[in-house]
Amino acid sequence: MIYPVAPEVMANLGLMQFLVPMEGVDGDGRSLLEGRSIQNRPAQEDYRQCRYPGSRRLHAKPMNVKALSLYVAQRHTVDQWVGTMLAAQSADQSAALRFLFGTHTAYHTPKLWLHGPEDGPVPPTVATAAKICHGAYELALHCFRFRGPADFGRMDAEAMVRDAEEHKRLVGRSEVCAGPPAMIRDMLGLMLGEERAPIADATPEAACARRAAAIMHLYWRLERLAILNTFVALSRKRVAPGRVVTFPNAIRVIQAVQANQPLNASFVSAYQLVPPPEVDGLNEADRLLERHGDLWSRTPEEVGREGAASLGGFAADVAKVLDTLRQSAQTLGVVERDAPESAAVIDLLFGRAAP
């Protein structure tokens, strides 16, 4: 996938740099993206053919056994970190929503070391947990899309394992999942609360996890804003698709627009939801975007016929939401330097939605 806005440009845009894929290495020099990395590819000897039963068996795509061995060696602390991330989610939410938001949080947490406010290299425990939770989070998005909110909320670990196998979710773009079937089942059980989740007693500490959860709940809203604005901009045909692939889920939005598909039927449908706000101002940001909640159910053709006045109001609200997110991020220690105004940032990264 190509990201036409270079990371060095994003670095001057404050909070927006969180949308850049996590190119980099952890404190042990291991790639944060493993086989998905462009700049830090694993060594060829890290791979071998998969011998597990099912869709992965003897697949042409390789299995990253080195990454698996690193998880096995630090499984206790990684499971503790994942458990702490789950515990940092709202206790009032269902197990399925804690799973969705908790895996999203753990998946993106290395960005706190890449972009602030945490100091030093990414801890290997955090990096390994992020890789595991990335797969679980993608599985959650898949299940939410195809089963809907109600059925997704009733899924247990066994159902998720069956779904992953049936829909070949254990086969990625360049490699297959390296986790043994029993290990996958155990981890999903932990994430869904079927097994007692351990709480971290080693660094990073629980306080770091709570701050990570708060920042990543804010980041969820940033992704939501990016999805909606890109959807409108593409539907209005005011930007070329190649310009807007500046955050990972942009490709999903492009696919929805090309298929004339509403967002609530696409892979990003779970972003209709928002986690509980944990810092001041996010309630207002949520209300502003909720004013345009009908966008999730409308086709690109319908949005493209929208009048200029309505889209002008949407563009103004999007800028206000980004203002709020940037201010809230600063209270959590995410420092912005010389970043342009929110309206200009949105135009640069996502394309102008208003006429």
Give per-residue pLDDT as tens, 55-100: 999 999 999 999 999 999 999 999 989 998 998 898 899 999 999 9
Q: What's the structural domain count of the chain?
A: 2
Domain assignment present for residue 178? The answer is: yes
pLDDT of residue 1: 35
> pLDDT category, 4, cuts 50, 70, 90?
very low
Q: What is the average per-residue pLDDT within 150-175?
A: 94
Q: Are 108 and 159 in contact (CB under 8 A)?
A: no
Residue 246: how many other CB atoms lie within 10 Å? 22
Q: Is the pLDDT of residue 240 over 60?
A: no
For the chain, strand residue ranges (E) read 47-48, 63-64
- Per-residue exposure over 287-316, b if at least 16 CB sit within 10 Å of its own CB, e if not: ebbeebeebbebbbeebbebeeeebeebbe
The boundaries of the domain holding residue 106 are 22-191
pLDDT of residue 210: 84
More confident residue, 315 or 179: 179
Domain assignment present for residue 73? The answer is: yes
49 and 180 assigned to the same domain: yes
225 and 178 assigned to the same domain: no
Domain assignment present for residue 5? The answer is: no
pLDDT tens digit sequence for 322-333: 999 999 999 998
State the amino acid at position 3 in one-letter form: Y
Residue 54: how many other CB atoms lie within 10 Å? 16
Q: Are 285 and 321 in contact (CB under 8 A)?
A: yes
0.85 exceeded by the pTM?
A: yes
Q: What is the average per-residue pLDDT within 190-213?
A: 75
Q: Are 24 and 32 in contact (CB under 8 A)?
A: yes
pLDDT of residue 246: 60
Domain assignment present for residue 262? The answer is: yes
Bridge partners, residue 122, by sequence: 26
pLDDT of residue 115: 86
Domain assignment present for residue 129? The answer is: yes
Q: Is the pLDDT of residue 3 over 50?
A: no
State the amino acid at position 163 in one-letter form: D
Q: Compute the distance between CA of residue 50 and CA of residue 180 in angstroms, rounded to an integer.
A: 10
Domain assignment present for residue 199? The answer is: no
Domain assignment present for residue 6? The answer is: no
- Lowest-confidence range among 15-19, 124-128, 212-216? 15-19
Question: What is the rounded radius of gyration, in angstroms, for the C-alpha atoms of the chain?
Answer: 20
DSSP per-residue letters across 313-335:
HHHHHHHHHHHHHHHHHHHTT--
